[in-house]
Each structure stands twice: as C-alpha cells, then as structure tokens.
Structure 1
Amino acid sequence: MATITLKDLVKAYGDTEVLHQIDGQIADGEFVVIVGPSGCGKSTLLRMVAGLETVTGGDIYIGDRIVNDLEPADRDIAMVFQNYALYPHMSVRENMAYGLKIRKISKAEIDRRVEEAADILEIRQYLERKPRQLSGGQRQRVAMGRAIVRDPQVFLFDEPLSNLDAKLRVQMRLEIRKLQQKLGVTSIYVTHDQVEAMTLGDRLMVLNGGYVEQFGTPIELYDRPQSMFVAGFIGSPAMNFVPAQVAGGTVTLENGTSFAGGDAQGQIVLGIRPEHLALSPNGAIHVQVQLMEQLGANTLLHGVLDGTDTEMVVSLPGHVVAEPGTVMQFEAPAESLHFFAPDTQKRIG
C-alpha cells in the first residue's frame, strides 16, 4: 500500500485556475473523502491523482515517488467510475479479467484473483452473466471487482453510487466501507453528498471553489467547522446562521433577544445546528413556525427568527405539532454555539 501526498497542487485551463495550492497527505490504508458542491474541483483533483488530467503546478506523490508525468497504467491505481464503464459484450468474469489479460498475467492467476474478488463481493453466481442482466447495485459490485483484482496501491472512487436509488446507496456505501477496511487499501472517494462523506471517510477534504476549506475527521468538521461554508455544508439539516452581537459575554440576536454565552466581541454570525435547539419556556431564541415536517423519529420545524427574515430550522425528537404562525421558544447549550466573522466568514475562537 502507499501514502498519497499532495503538495501545492494547481490545475489551470488556459488562464483559468480551477484548483489552488491543494495540500494534504493521505496515510497508508486511510479512506479519505473529497466532498463539496458541483463545480468545486473534486473530480478534477481525483483525475489528477489518477493521471487522467495533467498537473499545472505542484506535485503528487504515491509512496515516495512523484507521479506527475507517469501514465495512469504506471501509477498502480484502480479507479471506480460513476457510470460503471463495463464492456456490454463481455461477461462479468471477462470484464473483471480484462485488465489483467492485457498485462499478460497467467490465466491461472487471473482466475484466482477474479474468483477471490467475486467471493468478497458475493457475485460469484453472476460471473457468466452480461452487464445488461444485472441490477445497478450488481453492476457497481462488478466495477469494484475489476478494481480489486488489480491489487493496486490506491483505490480511486468517482461518485460511484450517484446512479443508484436511495436505499441501495445506503447499502452500497456500507459495503464499500467494509471492503476498504478488509483490504486496507489507501482510498480516495469523491462525492457531493455530505451524509455519504460523513459515513465513509476517516477524514474529509472539503473543497469550495478550488480551495481546501478544511481537512479533518468527520467529527472535527461537525464540532469545529473552520468556516461558514463548512458549517453549512456538513450536517443535515444545515446549520442556522443568525446575525448577532456579543458584548461582555452576552449574545444579542438581531431581533433584540439576548442570552449569556460566548467570549467573542462585536458583530458576529451565530451558528446553531437545528438538532441543538431545545424547547424552553424561557428560551431567548424565538422562532415563528411556517412549515412542519413529520419524519417519524424526529420533526423538522421551518420558520424565521421572530421579527426578522432570517430563516431557521429546528430538529426536535419525536412528534411535535405546531401550527403555522406559532412562535416557539428555544435555547441551545453554550458549548454548541459557533461564532463566525461576518466579513471573512471564518471561525472565531
């Protein structure tokens, strides 16, 4: 296996720079998820590691060698694509074996690797079928099997589950995580789905506009987001942001209500996660309810901070009934509050 090191990585198309000084190291056997909105550069970064995009500046190391100018076939990586990329005229066995055949590996070794991968993925019974005879989840297993038989140093996943339905996505992401833990192969996984990222990754690299906003464990990003972008992107529902002012340890919201908490000073943006708001008869956070979503295990209340246009979402356990127009009072523990600078949108403290 191998570490992957990204040093001052830059990608430009002509005069347009799309990735800016990307730095990070992925440890041997680690599963790192690159996550961000569409157009942030995550697939471009993955394709640079794979050798499918050229490097404009900086270096990519796999192990102790720079691979900037190496062809994809020489990087000892295996990639799983969004669209499976299976040959329709070949059987599952032939699809999985094809990459090994063109490398002149012996038939006995090919058969051993294919059958071993088929057992791991539980697709042995489909080895003689054509891709058109398989479901979406089965095709994705074949695509992963084709990567496994390569026995690479690195797995690269480019949004491999985006074509699957919601239930199958949940099942397959758990299968991918278990598979990676079993094989212990260094892996990079690209997705725009933050729930998928939180579930899969040992660490997450959050990209925004070609810049790394934060690189850390899922819990670090959830508990201590370093910017409003990360705070709003990680967590579902997204964090609430309320203009406020802090003076002498008192937080005053834009509608004039106040409560104790916080060691910042001056104008700030207060961040509160929907799940950290709790009903309280004396709560200083007054929300006028506009819409209610009953989700079974919890209820989402959508509304605005009373007297303002600032949107708020509250997640409460169980079944809660609230008529539109009702003003409800909430509080949040001081340790769950987040403070951001209005100008830079970076974390304070």
Structure 2
Amino acid sequence: MAEEIVFCKGGGCTAKLGPDLLSHVLDKLPRGEKDPNLLIGYDSKDDAAVYRVSDEVAVVQTLDFFPPMLDDPYLFGQIAATNALSDIYAMGGTVKTALNIVCFPEQMDLNILGKIMQGGAEKVIEAGGTLAGGHSIMDNDVKYGLSVTGVVHPDHIYGNNQGQPSDVLILTKKLGVGLVCNANRVGLAPEGAMEEAAASMTTLNRKAAEISHHYEIHACTDVTGFGFLGHLSEMINEEISAEIDSISIPVIRGAIHCAEEFLLTAAAQRNRNHVGDRVEFSSWIPFSMEELLFDPQTSGGLLFAVKPEQAGAFLKELQGAGLPAAMVGRFVSKKERDIYVR
C-alpha cells in the first residue's frame, strides 16, 4: 500500500530554523570583499537585501517559502505569497517582480499545486507586481513561496535597527496566528479564531507601507517566525531599549485561550530560549501573554518606529484604512535590559 501523503504537517513560519542555530551557521560564512553598493546585507538582520543601482534607485531582494500550516491549498498559496511579499514593504520598497519556489511530491494531485500557485499569483497581482517565472523540484513534502524583487529610493530605506529614543512603536496586525494555527491542526481552535487568523495572514502589508511613506519612519521590521519579541530585539541598537505596553497589543481572538491551554509551538520555545534573557517581564504579566509575544507569526504585520510627534496621525490613518494597528510601546534611552514588558 502506498504511503499516504499528508498535505499539512505543521508549517508556516513555525518551520523556520531557530535563530540560535541560524546565527551559528551564518556567522561562519565567508563574506568576500565589501561592495559599497550593497546598502543592506549580511551586516544587519534586516528583512531583505538592498543594492544601489543608481543615485535614485536601489533593488530590494528577498525570498521566503515554507510548508503548509493549514489544509486549504489555495489559502496556503495566498498566505505564503503574502508573507514573502511583506519583506519588500518592511524595507520601505515597492514590489516589482516575483518568482515561484515550489517543492511538490510527484505522486500528489497536480490540481493541488495549481490551487497553491493560483493563490500565490493572485497576491502578486494584488501587490502590483508581475509573476515572472520560478523553479520547482520534487520533494516528499509540499513547500511554496516566492523570491521577490522590489525597488526603493536609496535615501528612503527602512532599516530595522535605526530607531531613536522616544520613537513610538506601532504594530499593524494582531498577534497569535501561530497559537491559533497550532490549535486548529489538532481541532481545538476556538470558534472563529482560525477564520480571523487566515484573514490576517492573507492581508498584504502594502497599504500600511504606503501610508508610512507620508511619515518619518526611523525603523521597521515585519513580525514573522521569530515572534514579536524576537523581531523587536533585532531593532535594538546601542542607544535604545524598548518598553512594551502589553495591554495595547492587538490579539487574534482565542489566541490567549490557546496559550492558557498550552497549545504551544516548539518555535515559540526556541524564540524564548534565544531572546528571553534580554527581556524583563513585569511580575503581573501572565504566562499566556509571554507566550503570545514569543509566538511565531506567519505573514505578520509591520512594526514601525515612528517619530513621536507623528505617531497619532500615523495610527489614525492606519486604522482609517481598516487595519487593526495599535501603539504598543516606545523606544527609550539605553537601560540594563533591551526590552521591558509592562
């Protein structure tokens, strides 16, 4: 009897290698001679590479792919593409072209592959980009994503570690999709939770990025597999620490309940192990909120560090566009710990 192929074994950004393991490997790679036109690359932990081709144009380059986190192939394709496109927006760029990355079992129904790629192609079009080709290989499991190219003005790049003391932190999507997807896989997701999570994961960060171009943004990242605290830690520099207001964190319905029921992901524990000693939680913060902040996000929102005088107007415009954005904290002058959660 042929072995049954399982479409969803647990994936999305929970499938990322842990940050500790990844750093151990990347730190040993040869870098070669530094290219002055490589404006963002290995030297930072940014979301994409940026290469200057003229005084007016820089190319933004990224790729992202992962296995399914749910059983609907079309929805999975949409989510994987939305997630990959997000890195361009996190750098302040505009999407131009995308290439498919496909791993697919030879014996699986090709209609499934068609649905995955249809979902991805529609999101590329929604982003204003052009799907220009791709590459596929046979594999034991399904994996899908995109390599994406965008453009940005060299003077208007959003680095992730250029925040300043007093910057206000604004998050554009709710947290908790990792917890909810994990609960859904074992049939224990609260009513309506998976539907809200799916809607969040298929919402492009394009609108948030376009709105941000009207404001003074000092730093930005998208919140994905390393969780809110993991990606926030990458924004910390020698001059700043972050203070987070946990009450203000926007949350997918049912996610806190999933954490309380210990429907946790291994990726969240890797995130906790990696960055936990850089974080101080107030004594009244419950374990479920800690877990939410370490929870790996698939196709999460953008986290902006914005000039404080402009934060109110920026937030109002984001919310006016229908986004569940919230002020979640601020950067302050350097303190003993990198991150304080109150």
User: What TM-score do you get using the length of structure 2 for normalisation?
Assistant: 0.23
Structure with the bigger percentage of strand:
1
Which has the higher relative contact order, 1 or 2, with Cα contacts under 8 A spaced 6 or more apart? 2
Structure with the bigger percentage of helix:
2
